[in-house]
Amino acid sequence: MPKIVKFIYVMIIIISLFLVATNDEEDCFVDADCVNLILCDFDEKPKCIINICQCFPWTVIH
């Protein structure tokens, strides 16, 4: 009986980790979408490139 309970707990943890890892959506359509989706360093700006948010240094953007 304790082995079954332990197995169920382990499965719940594995499934919850999988759901957290797959819920990392960074899809965007314009640069403004990325502001709330990712956090960039102070010298970088989020940009939407091929529907994925990425951080780029300000010198590359200007």
pLDDT of 23 above 70: no
Residues 6+ apart with CB under 8 A from 54: 34, 38, 46, 47
Q: Count Cα neighbours of 11 within 13 Å in the Cβ-side half-sphere.
A: 6
* % the chain with pLDDT above 90: 5
Q: What is the pLDDT, as a whole number, of residue 61?
A: 57
In terms of pTM, does the model score above 0.75?
no
